[in-house]
Amino acid sequence: MRKLLLSGLIAIVGVVAASAQKPGYDPVKAPYGHGQDSVDCRLNLSLMQTSAKAEDYTGALKPWISVYENCPASSKNIYIYGPRIFKALYGAETDAAKKKEYLDKVMEVYDARMKYFSEDDAKGTILAYKAYDYIELMGEQTDQSVVYDMLNEAIGEMKDKMNPLDAYSYFMVASVSEYLKDNSKKDRYITDYFNVVGYVDQAIANARAANDESSADYLGMVKEGIVKGFVNSGAGDCKTLTEYYADKVEPNKGDKVFLNEVLDALGSVGCSETDLYFAASEYLYKLEPSAGAALGLANKSLRDKDYETAVKYYGDAARMETDKNKASDYMMQLAGIFSNQRNFARARQAAYDALEYNPNNGDAYILIGQLYASSAGNIFPEPEKAGLVYLAAVDKLQKARSVDPSVASEANSLINRYSAAFMDTETAFMMGIKAGESVFIPGWIGETTTVRLR
C-alpha cells in the first residue's frame, strides 16, 4: 500500500519545476503571498511540518510541494524537511530512474535554499549539507568529483570559518580520491592539502580564542586525519615535495606565507635537511625571523659542522617558538648533539634550557642522568668513589619519572642499572662514608647528593 501511494505521488513530484515560484510572487515583500494564497501557504506549512516532525514523509509531500511552488521564501523549514522527504522516497524506491529523480530533487532543494535563505545560513554551510546528502544517497556509487566541486566551493567561501567542521575532512577525502584516480591531479591535491591545513590551524586558533576547547580538540583530530592521509597518499614524500617546490622557491623568495608553507611541507615528511629546505629557511629568516626558519638554519649549520652557529640558531628557534613543548624539544636536539660530542657540560646546560620551556620534560632529566653516569669513572681520583656519581645520576632519573610519567619505564630501567653500581657497604666503611650523609660530587657535575649504599 505504501509503495502504491508513493508511486502515485511521482506525478505530483514531477510537476515541481526547478525554479518553482508562482507568477507574481514577491519573496521579499510578501513571502507568504497575498490573500487566499497567504492563508493556503500558512495552512500547508503547518500540515507539512506536523507530518514531517512525525516522520510521515508521505503525508508531508503534498503540502511541501504546495509551499515550495507557491511561497518558497516563507519558511526555512521547506528546505530542512524537503531533503528528508525526498531521501525517504529515494530509500523506498527501486526504479533507478526514479531514484535519480529524487536525488536530483534533493540537490535542487539545496540550490533553492541558497536562493531564498542565503542570509540565514552561509552558502558554504548549505553546500556542505548538500554534499553530505549526496554522499548518503549515492553510497559506494559516490562520484568524488561531484563532492570535490561542492566542498571546494564551500571551503573556498568560508576558509577557516567552515561549518560543519568535518567538511574539511570530506573535502580532502574527495581530493585525494581524485588524485589517486588520476595522478595528473597531484599538484591540485598538494595545494588543497596546504590550503586546508592552514584553514584548520586558524580555525583551531579561533576556537581557542573563543574558549571553545571542544571544537579545538575536534579540529585537532580532523587535522591529524588529514595529515595522515597526506603522508600515506604517496603525494607527500620528500622527493615529490622537493620536486614540487624546486622551481618555486627562488621566484617566491620574498613571499613569507609561501616560504612558511614550504618549510611546513618539507618538515611534515621529514625532509628538513635538504638544500631546498635550507634555502627557504635563509630567505624566510631574512624577511622575518621565525622559529621554523631558525630551525632550518640550525640544521644547515649542523650539516656544515658549524656547531657554534647551530647553537645560536637553536636558541633563536626556541625563543621564537610559541609552542613551549616544541621549544623544549629544540633545546633537547641541541643537548643530544653536545652529548654525542661528549661535551657533557654544554649538553647538560642545553637540557636545563629545555626544562625552562617545559619543566615536565622527563627526557631532559634522563639525559642529564645518563651524562652523569657516563662520567662516573672520571670525577673522583679514587676509583672506589665512582659509585657516588651514580647517586647523582639516580637523583635525576627519579626526578624524571616524578615530573613525566611517560618516561617512568625508561627511568626505572636506568635506576635499576645505576643502583647496582652504588658504593657497597664495606667499601663505604673503609672510606669513612655513611649512608644518609651528604656528599659533594665535584668536577663539572658540582652537585650535592645523599649517600645510598648497596
Q: Residue 2 has what pLDDT? A: 41
Write out pLDDT tens, residues 438-447.
999 999 999 9
Q: How many CB atoms lie within 10 A of CB 115?
A: 14
Q: How many CB atoms lie within 10 A of CB 254?
A: 10
In eight-state DSSP terms, residue 16 is S
Three-state secondary structure call for residue 78: helix
pTM: 0.59
Q: How far is CA 333 from CA 12, 262, 299, 301, 337, in A?
A: 71, 22, 10, 13, 6
Give the Cα separation of 77 and 63 in Å (integer): 12
Q: How far is CA 384 from CA 349, 376, 378, 437, in A?
A: 28, 10, 11, 17
Give the CA-trace dihedral at 26, 32, 34, 35, to 10 degrees. Answer: 170
Write out pLDDT tens, residues 392-428.
999 999 999 999 999 999 999 999 999 999 999 999 9
Task: Answer whether residue 253 shows pLDDT above 90.
Answer: yes
Give the Cα separation of 94 and 96 in Å (integer): 6
Q: Which domains does the chain have, with CATH numbers?
A: 1-120 (no CATH), 143-235 (1.10.220)
Q: Residue 27 has what pLDDT? A: 85
pLDDT tier, 18 (very low <50, low <70, confident <90, very high otherwise) = very low
Give the Cα separation of 233 and 219 in Å (integer): 21
Average pLDDT of the segment spanning 185-196: 92
Residue 25 in contact with residue 70, Cβ under 8 Å? yes
Give the Cα separation of 235 and 193 in Å (integer): 10
Mean per-residue pLDDT over the chain, rounded:
90
Write out pLDDT tens, residues 37-89.
999 999 999 999 999 999 999 999 999 999 999 999 999 999 999 999 999 99
Write out pLDDT tens, residues 304-321.
888 889 888 999 999 999
Could you write out the DSSP letters of every residue in 283-332?
HHHHHS--HHHHHHHHHHHHHTT-HHHHHHHHHHHHHH-S-HHHHHHHHH
Q: Is 144 exposed, middle or buried (0-12, 13-18, 19+ CB in 10 A)?
A: middle
